[in-house]
Structure 1
Amino acid sequence: MTKRSTPSSPQSRGNAPRKSGGGWPIPTPGDVLCYAYLWAREAAQGQEEGLKDRPVVVVLAATDTGNGVRLTVAPITHSAPDGAEGAVEVPLAVKRDLGLDRERSWIVVSEVNGFLWPGPDVRPLADGSPFYGAIPDWLFLRMREGIGVHAGRGRVRVTKRTE
């Protein structure tokens, strides 16, 4: 497995062949975005928007029958998971490379959000781009395996956001 040569950033992604709303390139799996994530428990209570902007990892980017690109994203949180299989810890070195804080964090693999890119819940950072960068391939594979384990058990909660 190889590590991405450079994390995605506004500068390194500037040559991306496709652009979308906001002039941002279309994210690819492994990219980390700033997004108002709607937790499944919040959606169950009738909320329509996430309460907090947070980093999320793009799990999947797929063309949605002429409507654009549909992203599936997994949240990054400071809250420790209930069980060892519920999340993948993000190493501090990766957090540093993304420009995130030094607190322990996890990528939740038991729930995801799906939305059409760019969507109203994508949040630009100080530089005007929603991209923090990208996680290394080995971490992306661990995250994907965790989601696969939960999906195989029918235990991934998917919250589809309406645009």
Structure 2
Amino acid sequence: MSHRRRIGIVPSSVVLTSFQVMSRVFLIWAVTHSVKEVQSEDSVLLFVIAWTITEIIRYSFYTFSLLNHLPYLIKWARYTLFIVLYPMGVSGELLTIYAALPFVRQSGLYSISLPNKYNFSFDYYAFLILIMISYIPIFPQLYFHMIHQRRKVLSHTEEHKKFE
């Protein structure tokens, strides 16, 4: 299945959307819910606020687009506010995972050590560090993709700038 595969309801990639949903479920359940000690961290508030504003804008954009009546202000917000919201959300996510690390290491949360009947081991602490490292190549790619999309989408409407 191509990463460009679409269902047709909204113009989003099924793979990218699935990745986003799974990463959010992971952060909420496997980090924030599972490590009670991080639930009061400011970093949780940071990513929740960023996600919330982003989704309000995204689904307003999709709704008005489906109704064929997209106000310029919503289009502008969709392709501009990510400049601040995306780094804000990513910072909150990374800081939350980082805050969870000592508790995961101490408790052995979700880790499986050898020997066991499956002859398999898993170190959740190391896994979280790998997740954090994965942000290094992924974040810039997605961020600059959105910058490119912003230029492409808003350059066509700048000359017709009007609030409907």
**Into which bin does the TM-score normalised by the smaller protein fall?**
under 0.3
Q: TM-score by structure 1 length? A: 0.28
Q: TM-score, normalised by structure 2?
A: 0.27
- Greater share of strand: 1
Larger Rg: 2
Name the structure with the higher helix share: 2
Q: Which has the higher contact order (CA 8 A, sep 6+)?
A: 1
